[in-house]
Amino acid sequence: MFIDYKIDDLTNFPKNLEQLLDENRKTIAKLLEQETITYDNFMKPMQEMEEKLDTFFSPLANENGVNSTDEVQKAYSDCLPLLSKYYSEMTQNEKLFHALERVQKQQDLTAEQRELIDQEVRDFVLSGAKLNTEDKKRVEQIDLRQSELSNTFSQNLLKATNAFEMEVEEKDLGEMPQSDRAAAKNDKGGYTFTLQMPSFIAFMTYSPNRQLREKLYKAYNTRAPENAEVIDEILRLREEKAKLLGFENYAQYSLQTKTASSVQEVNDFLTRLGEAAKQGAKEELEELEELEELEELEKFAGRKLESYDFAYYSEKYKKQKFDFNEEDIKPYFEKNSVLNGLIGVVSELFGVSFAEVEVPKWDEKVRVYDIDDGTERCRIYFDLEARKKKRGGAWMADFQAHYAKRSGEVSPASAFVVCNFAPSSEDNPSLLRHDDVVTLFHEMGHAIHHLFSKVKERGVSGIHGVAWDVVEFPSQFLENFAYEAAVLKRFAKHYQSGETIPQHYLDKIKAGKNYNAAIGLVRQIEFSLFDFKLHQKLYQGEQIQELLDGIRKQYTPLLPPSYNRFQHGFAHIFAGGYSAGYYSYKWAEVMSADAFFECLTDEGFEREKAKGYKEWILQRGGSANMNELYRNWLGKDFKVESLLKLYDIKAA
């Protein structure tokens, strides 16, 4: 049964949440009192309890993004400490851990049940549940200190980012788009640029003033030098925690929650990809250096380009060779036409049907569909247009999960897809950029991974229980179709004339995607190898810079200036969740590229392969290792060469 989207009492929501959490605590206590603990009498009620909590809180979490009023923000903020305390209690509950261990010893578990209970026990073990009292206390101290250090890293970076401003004149803006000019306009009649990413990118891409580009570049890449000491302590603590838990290094510890089987496998993967792409990156840079306008740089010793020149001249070359006016193609991507086209693509690829339904929703422009595969239904909510009080960006969030209840009833899956496309009005439709089309396909890829699940155990159904390094696989897989001419021609029709988008636009869309792709790839390899090698032994002080410099010399065709201290701002690994896991971006992208080519034909789709993708990948959720599911689907492992093919990079 689908649950209606509703928030009954916003004012008392935190109070009602606290009451529900207290009920859960009592339920857990009663379950732990059972003389005999089994999967059916312990894990099943635990999953139903968790689903009840999630479906209660999800509407408020969603409202905080799509309708963030003061009342919503207050209720949401008041709920977070309650949830944090509850989940902290769960992870520290030794009786709960021992009960899970008893279930794990049960011999008659299904494969899905086995995967779920193994994941639950693993997470407790990685938190120190099996350590002696002294070591357990030390792990808790390490976790607390790491949390403090990550926050310090972020605050140092934020403070340094906000502290820098650079005032420039209009002549320094070059061909900068009007929207970026407007954002930089100050009340003195000039323009102010900062180290905030949109401002930084705009100036580095469009300003013809080389001296000011270097000034901004140097300020950005020497931010927060005090983070050097923070990084040293973070790395010491990570190394200590990993060894307390019985691992050789932190990289090995990190891989326990990922699909990659060993440190060596990731090392080999990144090295193969880097070696394959570095010649293409060198050739892309050499081609750029042939740009006539670069002759003005020949007077600079040794080389035409510096790192602070790259974005500027790269944009000039792109305009000269590939560019087209984005405004010219937007009339071919009217929002409703694109949505209907996406629905058609998913329907044909995976043998499902969509039916729009009228159900409770948070805005009149939200469109809701039930998806039917002939045996079961799932539900998707599309909220695609920007509006006031809606957070920027795009995302997919789950509402309900597909799983089998103790009663025998199967709970259906539901999910939200949220974007921020240009708003429509009575007089004007919502017209999308091609990047918006890609975004919608990407988020839909996440959504169907959740919605198409056939898994009976909630904790590994849909997006639940999916390993970190493959969570982007289904989204990247589907977004790849948004660049294919055979797919775009199905729905890219001029909203007034009905004319199909001309081929020359489709060619430029594809060429633009592949422009400087090898340079972009080796840059991601640089980040990934630095992160992963940094966590294979303890690096301190200048050793960190030496490691980064060595990787750059091996793969990067355009070496940065010696003052570049990129690591002091690498928040992904020092203040985010990507430590010893930044490789995940490329791991998932290679897998998605390999799968994409298996399902692509000149006409659009290879339906039998897509059927297998649905059966082995989308319907299995987190119920098995994704590498194993991939082999079951295609009888082979994914190949790094597929990513090179996707971006038309010639392997070395």
- Kindly tell me if the per-residue pLDDT of 334 is higher than 60: yes
- Tell me, what amino acid is at 362? W
- Kindly tell me if the per-residue pLDDT of 12 is higher than 60: yes
**Predicted local distance difference test score (pLDDT) of residue 652:** 66
Token pair 């969570």 is found at: 471
**Predicted local distance difference test score (pLDDT) of residue 177:** 86
**Predicted local distance difference test score (pLDDT) of residue 303:** 52
CA distance 535 to 242: 10
Active site residues: 443
Average pLDDT over residues 231-243: 98
**Predicted local distance difference test score (pLDDT) of residue 169:** 95
Comparing CA positions, the residue from 534, 536, 556 lying closest to residue 545 is: 534
Say if strands 165-168 and 377-385 run parallel, antiparallel, or are unpaired.
Answer: unpaired
CA distance 270 to 278: 12
Average pLDDT over residues 523-541: 98
- Kindly tell me if the per-residue pLDDT of 222 is higher than 70: yes
Among the ranges given (103-117, 362-376, 502-516), the one the predictor scored with the smallest mean pLDDT = 502-516
Domains parsed from the chain with CATH numbers: 13-131 (1.20.1050.40), 165-221 (no CATH), 227-244+246-322+516-582 (1.10.1370.10), 328-514 (1.10.1370.40)
- Tell me, what amino acid is at 300? F
Q: Is 194 helix (H, G, I), strand (E, B) or coil?
A: strand
Token pair 């009960």 is found at: 99
192 Cα distance to chain centroid:
31
Mean pLDDT of all residues belonging to the chain = 94
pLDDT grade for 20, boundaries at 50, 70 and 90: very high
pLDDT grade for 122, boundaries at 50, 70 and 90: very high
Residue 479 φ then ψ, to 5°: -65, -25
Residue 383 φ then ψ, to 5°: -120, 95
**Predicted local distance difference test score (pLDDT) of residue 487:** 94
pTM: 0.91
* Sign of the dihedral through C-alpha 240, 244, 248, 252: negative
pLDDT grade for 295, boundaries at 50, 70 and 90: low
Q: Find out whether 174 and 206 touch, Cβ atoms under 8 Å.
A: yes
- Kindly tell me if the per-residue pLDDT of 630 is higher than 90: yes
- Kindly tell me if the per-residue pLDDT of 301 is higher than 50: no
**Predicted local distance difference test score (pLDDT) of residue 639:** 92
- Kindly tell me if the per-residue pLDDT of 79 is higher than 60: yes
Joined tokens for residue 156: 């140092």
Residue 458: CB atoms within 10 A of its CB come to: 27
Comparing CA positions, the residue from 467, 533, 454 lying closest to residue 118 is: 467
Q: Is 36 exposed, middle or buried (0-12, 13-18, 19+ CB in 10 A)?
A: exposed
Average pLDDT over residues 104-118: 97
- Tell me, what amino acid is at 163? A
**Predicted local distance difference test score (pLDDT) of residue 614:** 97
How would you write 450-493 as a 3-class SS string? HHCCCCCCHHHCCCCCCCHHHCCHHHHHHHHHHHCHHHHCCCCE
Say if strands 191-194 and 165-168 run parallel, antiparallel, or are unpaired.
Answer: antiparallel
Residue 287: CB atoms within 10 A of its CB come to: 12
**Predicted local distance difference test score (pLDDT) of residue 249:** 98
> According to the per-residue pLDDT averaged within each range, which of 64-68, 196-200, 546-550 is highest?
546-550
Average pLDDT over residues 221-233: 97
Q: How many CA atoms lie within 13 A of 160 on its CB side?
A: 19
Q: DSSP characters for 600-633?
A: EETTEE-HHHHHHHIIIIITTTTSS-HHHHHHHH
- Quick: pLDDT tens for 460-484: 999 999 999 999 999 999 999 999 9
pLDDT grade for 318, boundaries at 50, 70 and 90: confident
- Quick: pLDDT tens for 555-593: 999 999 999 999 999 999 999 889 999 999 999 999 999
Residue 177 φ then ψ, to 5°: -60, 155
- Kindly tell me if the per-residue pLDDT of 292 is higher than 90: no
CA distance 401 to 382: 17
Among the ranges given (242-251, 412-421, 504-513), the one the predictor scored with the smallest mean pLDDT = 504-513
CA distance 588 to 638: 10
* Sign of the dihedral through C-alpha 343, 347, 352, 355: positive
**Predicted local distance difference test score (pLDDT) of residue 576:** 86
- Quick: pLDDT tens for 246-272: 999 999 999 999 999 999 999 999 999
Average pLDDT over residues 325-340: 91
Comparing CA positions, the residue from 554, 579, 528 lying closest to residue 266 is: 528
Token pair 């926050």 is found at: 151
Q: Find out whether 205 and 315 touch, Cβ atoms under 8 Å.
A: yes
**Predicted local distance difference test score (pLDDT) of residue 178:** 87
Q: Is 418 helix (H, G, I), strand (E, B) or coil?
A: strand
- Quick: pLDDT tens for 89-100: 998 899 999 999
Q: Looking at the chain, how many residues does it have? A: 652
CA distance 120 to 150: 26
- Give percent of the chain above pLDDT 70: 98
- Kindly tell me if the per-residue pLDDT of 275 is higher than 50: yes
- Kindly tell me if the per-residue pLDDT of 168 is higher than 80: yes
CA distance 599 to 346: 13
**Predicted local distance difference test score (pLDDT) of residue 302:** 43
Tell me the chain's radius of gyration from C-alpha atoms. 26
- Give percent of the chain above pLDDT 90: 87
CA distance 464 to 515: 35
Residue 499 φ then ψ, to 5°: -65, 135
**Predicted local distance difference test score (pLDDT) of residue 645:** 94
